Chains A and B, each alone.
Chain A
Amino acid sequence: MKLNTILVVDDDENDQFICEYTIRKFDPAIAILKAQDGTEALAILKTETPDAIILDINMPIMNGFEFLEHYASTFAHHAPVVAMLTSSQLGSDRERALRYPFVRSYLEKPLTIEHLRQMQALLEA
């Protein structure tokens, strides 16, 4: 299965830019959906189910963990690959995120081609 759509949830505009650039470089055919925080992401997910979600943790209004909680409880069908993308690797955060079955990987910023390759591999597995 090929990566066709990716939802990027991040409040930082630079990080959004880097994600978009890297995804384009990895595969220009991939459709990119953007959300500033958890609430926006949930709104998008009501109509779309992307192949992957790249999720930041520290965001205003609704942070990554709050989003995961909502996503797990209110959605029956989840994106096959949800990858956390965060600026710091804190053990407790990682464990907390990986408790959700749909969270498949925990990445450190900035997003790289290699990260996307891993996500592709997870999707195919």
Chain B
Amino acid sequence: MQHDDQQWRLTGLSAGLWCIVVGLGMIVFWLAEPAELAARHPEIFGMKFNAALAFTVLGAAFLLALSGHRALPAIGALAVLGYGVVALAQHVFAVDLGIDQALYRPFTDIGTSLPGRIAPNTALCFILISLAVIRRALRGESDIVQIACSYAAVAIAATALIGYLIDFDAAHDWVAYTRMSVQSATCFLALGVGILFIGARTAGYHRLAIAASLGVATYLILLTLAYLKVSEQAKRLPFAIDRDGISSTAATLLDLILLSGLIYAGLLAYSYWSSRRYRRSATHLSESQGRLAAIINAAVDGILTVDANGTILSANPACERIFGHAPEDVVGKPVRMLLPGPPGDGAEMTGGGHSGAGYVVASGETDARRKDGRIVPVELSVARVELAEGTVHTAIIRDISERKHFERQLLAANAELEEFAYRTSHDLRSPIASSIGLLNISRELLENGDHDALSGTLERMERNFTRLDHLIQNIIVLTRDRLLEEEDRRISPFDVVQSQADTLSTLEEDGRVRIANHIPPQLTISTKPSKFEVIVGNLLSNAIKYHDPGETDPRVDVHIEEHDGRIRLVVEDNGLGVPEEKRPLLFRMFKRLHPSRSFGSGLGLYILKKSAESLGGSVTFEARDKGSRFIVELPNGGEHEAEHHTGGR
């Protein structure tokens, strides 16, 4: 559009310059008074001196108006307007107002009505064009008056020019012996076209419609003039019979004029209507294409189109998120580059089946290869679309790595829960079943009066219930660990170890195991206090429980290391250790690794692991030459998000 206007501006410039060049040229010719040339080529002097001057002024005014001046071009064009009005008035009122030779007395005359007098059509065109230039200068843009004036002027000038071309005098000689010269006609045409078309579009006028109607108007004017000429000549003929013949020819001509006028007008209206319709549908199409493109570009899912050979034709921006490749980088590449596996590799793919407009080729889960080489699970649905230019496949791709991740987590959690339910149902029932048996035995022993054996049986029952109680306590700890919402607090790990060690020494055995607390007493860490206590308690009780009875100095050493915002709690013992083949089972629930000393619930290390994980940490086991080393690594303070921790599996 910008470019278009630029071109018209250039046309306007040429039009103005043309007027100035022609006008100045003619002034020079008149002033030079070349009598010989005038005798040989009188047509050169068809443009009068005054007219040449007027064109020079008008051309300059037009150029000034185009470059944004207001007053100067308006004044110049006003002068020309005045000249045009006076010149026309002379013709209309058949008077001589002395304008014809006001500035210059012609040295020659080409046989016009009066020397120096311009034709009425020329005068009219001066009026029209100067009016248009004045308006353009004042308004700075196109309007209907300018268009109407220049339209009429162009039609008149074009008629005159065509008259010269087809040797039809009436076209330029409205009044006998006064004609619009060729030069004048070209100048009017140039200026008229310039005014008509520069800025026409911004003012809401269609150039094509104007041009087409101008063609029609010129054609009709020519035909009308021809008709007038013929009927005028018919009147002048001396013989009546011939006059009738000519009159009927004139009538036929009139009919033809009307008919062709109608046909032209109809065609013009139709072409205007159809161009309007075309433009509307083009606008609709581009709008709907824009909407579609916006939908595809904004889609969350990746959308690829692939040709029959598996070459990618297009990719939307979401593809970049899924594959890491920019859309323009994958166009033209084979689709296998992004989706290497056969669709449905290891996943359920449903092949075939009509679905709406497309034919579903495949849908299901598959692997996608990212730019960095990483493989991500995606859900893919491919539809075949038969287009005029061939078969195209559209693939809709959804990254499901997050869903898969949660799915795996859910499955793992579910499996763990199932195992927990299975094991607890067994382990809870086990001491009760055993106690029922013991109760029956006790009753018999009581009846038989065997009190010694009865006492032993009751002790067994007591042990059963202690075991049951211990198991239930552990389950409570686990549940509390899972459900308890706790805030981070600054605590002293030294104090925690000390108080847990004190509690255990009163409960366990004979206090033979020595617990050495090497944690600096002034050190504080930020963590969830009760979970940290559970961790320390389990580490210590585990070390005490599995101490080596044959060891002369059974001991537990507790250290803490701090680096990179994480703390490592290290608990070492010189106890029984863990047999190599049992190490993979270490942190599983209900695994008792020392059956000869199996008085635990089998949940201790499982609770330890769960507690560490819920603090965003981890627990590892290292075998020592003699004994075990457990390392619990925890974040020091709020940067972890326990609920989202997914490590350890």
The bracket for how many chain B residues form the interface is 20 to 34
Digit string of A110-124 for contact with B (CB within 8 Å is 1, else 0)?
Answer: 111000000000000
Find the A residue at minimum CB distance from B433.
Answer: A109
Residues in chain B near residue A59, CB distance under 8 A: 595
Q: Indicate whether A12 sits within 8 Å of B434 (C-beta atoms), given known contacts A87-B426, A88-B426, A90-B425.
A: yes
B426 touches A11 (CB 8 A): no
How many whole Å from B437's CB to the nearest CB in chain A? 3
Within 8 A of B (CB), among A77-119: 86-88, 90, 108-112
Contacting A14 at CB < 8 Å: which of B440, B463, B592, B598? B463
* Interface flag for B438 (CB, 8 Å): yes
In the complex, how many residues of chain A place their beta carbon closer than 8 angstroms to a beta carbon of chain B? 24
Q: A50-94 CB contact bits vs B (8 Å, 1 = yes)?
A: 000000011111000000000000000000000000111010000
Contacts A36-B595, A60-B595; A87 near B437 (Cβ below 8 A): no
Closest to B463 in A: A14
A37 to B432, CA, bound (A): 21
Q: In the bound complex, how far is the Cα of B429 from the Cα of A90, in angstroms?
A: 12
C-alpha spacing A12/B429, complex, angstroms: 13
Residues on B with beta carbons closer than 8 Å to the beta carbon of A11: 595, 598
Residues on A with beta carbons closer than 8 Å to the beta carbon of B434: 12, 14-15, 18, 87, 109-110
Residues of chain A with a CB closer than 8 A to B464's CB: 14
Given contacts A14-B464, A17-B460, contact A61 B595 (CB under 8 A): yes
Cβ contacts under 8 Å, A90 to chain B: 422, 425-426
The answer, yes or no, to whether A26 is at the interface (CB within 8 Å) is no
The distance in angstroms between the C-alpha atoms of A12 and B591, with both chains bound, is 15
Contact present for B429 and A88 (CB under 8 Å): yes
Query: Distance (Å) between the CB of B577 and the closest chain A CB?
Result: 16
Task: Report the minimum CB–CB distance from B177 to chain A (whole Å).
Answer: 124
B595:A37 contact, CB within 8 angstroms = yes
> How does the 8 Å CB contact mask read for B580-608 relative to A, with 1 for contact and 0 for none?
00000000001111111010000000000
Decide if B430 touches A87 in the complex (CB within 8 Å): yes
Question: Does B593 lie within 8 Å of A60, measured CB to CB?
Answer: yes
Shortest Cβ gap from A13 to chain B (Å): 8
Query: Assuming the A-B contacts A11-B598, A60-B592, are A111 and B437 also in contact, with contact meaning beta carbons closer than 8 angstroms in the complex?
Result: yes
Give the CA-CA distance A8 to B647 in the complex, in Å.
Answer: 42
A22 to chain B: which residues have CB within 8 Å?
437
Q: Provided the pairs A17-B460, A18-B437, A61-B595 are in contact, do residues A109 and B422 lie with their beta carbons within 8 angstroms?
A: no
Q: Which residue of B is nearest A90, CB measured?
A: B422
Closest-by-CB residue of A relative to B437 is A110
In the complex, which of the residues A17, A60, A87, A111 contacts B598, with contact meaning CB atoms closer than 8 Å? A60
Q: How far is the CB of B457 from chain A (nearest CB, A)?
A: 8
CB-CB under 8 A from A14, the residues of chain B are: 431, 434, 437-438, 460, 463-464
User: How far is A15 from B432 in the complex, measured between Cα atoms in Å?
Assistant: 11
Question: Is A110's CB under 8 angstroms from B426's CB?
Answer: no
CB of A87 to closest CB in B, whole Å: 4
- Cβ of B441 within 8 Å of any chain A Cβ, yes or no, is yes
Known contacts A14-B463, A21-B441, A110-B434; decide if A87 and B429 are in contact (CB<8 Å). Answer: yes
- Cross-chain contact B593 with A110 (CB below 8 angstroms): no
List residues 1-27 of chain A with CB under 8 A from any CB of chain B.
11-12, 14-15, 17-18, 21-22
Most chain B CB atoms below 10 A, which of A15, A59, A86: A15
Min distance, Cβ A114 to any Cβ of chain B, angstroms: 12
Q: Does B114 contact A (CB under 8 A)?
A: no
Q: Does B436 contact A (CB under 8 A)?
A: yes
A88, B598: Cβ atoms under 8 Å? no
Residue pair B426, A86 in contact (C-beta under 8 Å): yes
Report the minimum CB–CB distance from A67 to chain B (whole Å).
14
For B598, what are the chain A residues with a Cβ–Cβ distance below 8 Å? 11, 60
Contacts of A110 in B (CB 8 A): 433-434, 436-438, 440
Residues of B within 8 A of A86 (CB): 426
Cross-chain contact B463 with A58 (CB below 8 angstroms): no
Contact B437 A109 (CB under 8 A): yes
State in angstroms the CA–CA spacing of A81 and B31 once bound together.
144
Closest chain B residue, CB of each to CB of A13: B460
Q: How far is the CB of A122 from chain B (nearest CB, A)?
A: 21
Q: Kindly list chain B residues whose C-beta atoms are within 8 Å of the C-beta of A36.
A: 595-596
- Bound together, the chains give a CA A109 to CA B425 distance in angstroms of 13
Is B425 within 8 A of A88, CB to CB? Answer: yes
A15 to B437, CA, bound (A): 8
B427: chain A residues within 8 A (beta carbon)? 58, 87
Instruction: Tell which of A37, A109, A112 touches B430, judged by Cβ atoms closer than 8 Å.
Output: A109
Contact with A along B432-448 (1 / 0, CB 8 A): 11101110110000000
Residues in B neighbouring A37, C-beta threshold 8 A: 595
Which residues A23-56 have CB closer than 8 A to chain B? 36-37
Q: In the complex, A60→B427 CA distance in Å?
A: 13
Contact with A along B414-426 (1 / 0, CB 8 A): 0000000011011
A110 to B297 CA separation, bound complex (whole angstroms):
70
CB distance from B463 to the nearest CB of A (A): 7
Q: Once the chains are docked, how many angstroms separate the CA of A61 from the CA of B425?
A: 20
Q: Whose C-beta in chain B lies nearest to the C-beta of A59?
A: B595
Q: Are A58 and B433 in contact (CB under 8 A)?
A: no
Give the CA-CA distance A123 to B598 in the complex, in Å: 34
Residues of A within 8 A of B590 (CB): 58
Closest to B432 in A: A87
Interfacial chain B residues near A58, Cβ < 8 Å: 423, 426-427, 430, 590
Question: Smallest distance from the beta carbon of B87 to chain A beta carbons, Å?
Answer: 117
CB distance from B353 to the nearest CB of A (A): 39
In the assembled complex, the Cα of A12 lies from the Cα of B433 at a distance in Å of: 12
State how many angstroms separate the Cβ of B496 from the closest Cβ of chain A: 31
- Nearest Cβ distance between residue B284 and chain A, in whole angstroms? 66
Residue in B closest to A11 when the chains form the complex, CB atoms: B595
Residues of B close to A88: CB separation below 8 A = 425-426, 429-430
Q: When chains A and B are docked, how far (Å) is the Cα of A39 from the Cα of B65?
A: 112
State A14–B439 Cα separation when bound (angstroms). 12
Please give the distance in Å from A16's CB to the nearest CB on chain B. Answer: 10
Closest CB-CB distance, A31 to chain B, in whole Å? 21
Q: Closest residue of chain B to A15, judged by CB?
A: B434
Q: Complex: how many Å from CA A90 to CA B595? A: 24
A–B complex contacts, Cβ < 8 Å, 9 sampled: A12-B434, A14-B434, A58-B423, A58-B430, A90-B422, A108-B433, A109-B430, A109-B434, A110-B440
A-B residue pairs, 8 tightest by C-beta: A110-B437, A109-B433, A18-B437, A60-B595, A87-B430, A87-B429, A14-B434, A87-B433
19 further A-B pairs in the complex, CB-CB below 8 A; given A87-B426, A109-B434: A11-B595, A12-B434, A14-B431, A14-B434, A14-B437, A14-B438, A14-B463, A18-B441, A21-B441, A22-B437, A58-B426, A87-B427, A87-B429, A87-B432, A88-B430, A90-B422, A108-B433, A109-B429, A111-B437
